[in-house]
Amino acid sequence: MSERPSRTALFLGYLQIGLTSFGGVNAWARRFFVEKKGWLTEQEYAEVLGIGQVLPGPNALNTAIGIGTYFHGATGAIVCALGLFTGPMVLLAAVASLYDTYGQLPLVRAILTGIAAAAAGMVMGTAVKMVTKLRPSRTLLCIGLAAFTLAALKVRMPYVLLMLAPLGLIAAWRELDR
Amino acid sequence: MILLGQILIAFATLSLLAIGGANAVLPEMHRLLVDVHHWMDDATFTQLFALAQAAPGPNILAASVMGWHIAGPAGMMVATLGMLVPAACLAWIMAGLTIRLRGNTWMKPAQFGLVPIAVGLIAASGLIMAQATVTGWAALVIVIAATLFVWRTKYSPLWVLLAGGLVGLVLL
């Protein structure tokens, strides 16, 4: 590794990532830390991201905290998290107040319905894409389908996770063992 | 004050359930905010979520926009803190642990086994959003076209949101 970034550099880095990261933070964060600055190797970033994805809570936040802790402990974590959320929060406060004022105008409502319909398709497309990329075994596919069905039927999510997470872990353990 | 407390508890619960990010926790968020607390209707929920997707930054900030809609700036602060702080504490503890336990053997099975569940939850999110928006054939066409575009091409999904807005302007 070339150098250790200061806390200020981490904050400014995450501020920039937060404001530019359209459509998900992770790809942008990787580009910044690995490609642009070289503060982390590909392997190090993948490890931090992997832990962030297993933990509950937003991946982007978990990863930011992982990276901050890696360089500067608790203060590093706080600096990275603040940097990540400050910019978008200000922007979204503006969006939210505009929505409250103009959201009911017929024209605005039509545009927003269009965006919402597109977002619905985007979320479904992402799910399908992930399935085709992952090529899960039949057992894991069934577990995924069960999660889909239960969530679509609005079963409470703690119950869904309590039922399916142990099954998923056991299945994964056995498949990776082989 | 009671309302702010309720918002805090609702989003703090969601924070610890959000394995797989904002999209995976959407069904539970919808259940709590629309069905249990009646803080907003179906269409508003979906539109706010879509707006947060279109803006830069982590998608989980949908929580902030919804907090604002329920109770103004204070609602936004409470919802955001509720969504972020519990998960952040956990992530911080884990970050400390994993620096010590390098090459952790439990992580691969955990990822491998939990990802299918997250994907299932994400698919359900899409379905719930579609149910809220599809009131006629035009919206249905947008949903199907957006699904195919994101699935089959490598372009940024933001184009889908932009196109959806334009089509909505003309047809809806």
Find the closest chain A residue to B139 by CA distance: A117
What's the whole-number mean pLDDT along residues B48-77? 92
Residue with tokens 């629309």, as numbered in its chain: B34
> Looking at the domain assignment, is residue A62 inside a domain?
yes
pLDDT score of B6 more than 90: yes
Tell me how many domains chain A contains.
1
Return the pLDDT at B102.
56
pLDDT score for A135: 86
Q: Which of A99, A127, A173 sits opposite B48 (nearest CB)?
A: A99
Distance CA B127, CA B140 (A): 12
Question: For A34, which DSSP code?
Answer: I
Higher-pLDDT residue of B41, A134: B41
CB A103 within 8 A of CB B83: no
- Testing the interface with B: which of A63, A109, A113, A169 to mutate, by most B Cβ within 10 A? A113
pLDDT over threshold 60, residue B119: yes
Tell me the one-letter amino acid at A15: L
At how many degrees (to 10) do helices B158-171 and A106-134 cross? 140
B100-120 mean pLDDT? 76
Number of H helices and number of E strands within chain A?
7, 0
Distance CA A75, CA B114 (A): 30
Question: Cα distance from B155 to chain A (closest Cα, Å)?
Answer: 11
Q: Is residue A178 part of a domain?
A: no
Distances from the Cα of A151 to the Cα of A97, A164, B129, angstroms: 31, 12, 13
- Can you give A56-85 as a three-state secondary structure string? CCCHHHHHHHHHHHHHHHHHHHHHHHHHHH
Give the mean pLDDT of B97-109.
66
Determine the pLDDT at residue B32: 95
Query: Domain span at residue A43?
Result: 1-102
Report CB contact under 8 Å: A136, B58: no
Q: Is residue A93 part of a domain?
A: yes
A49 belongs to a structural domain: yes
Predicted local confidence at residue B1, as pLDDT = 83
Q: What is the pLDDT along chain A (178 residues), one digit of tens a residue?
A: 457 899 999 999 999 999 887 766 887 888 899 989 999 988 888 888 878 877 888 888 988 999 999 899 999 999 999 999 999 999 999 999 999 999 989 999 999 999 999 999 999 998 998 888 888 899 999 999 999 999 999 898 899 999 999 999 999 888 887 7
Residue A44, domain member (yes or no): yes
When pLDDT is cut at 50, 70 and 90, the band that residue B110 belongs to is: confident
Cα angle for residues A153, A116, A26 (degrees, 5° grid):
90
Q: According to the 3-state scheme, what is the secondary structure of B10-56? A: HHHHHHHHCCCHHHHHHHHHHHHHHHHCCCCCHHHHHHHHHHHHHCC
For residue A14, being part of any structural domain is answered with yes
Q: Which residue is closest to A162 within chain B, CA to CA?
A: B17
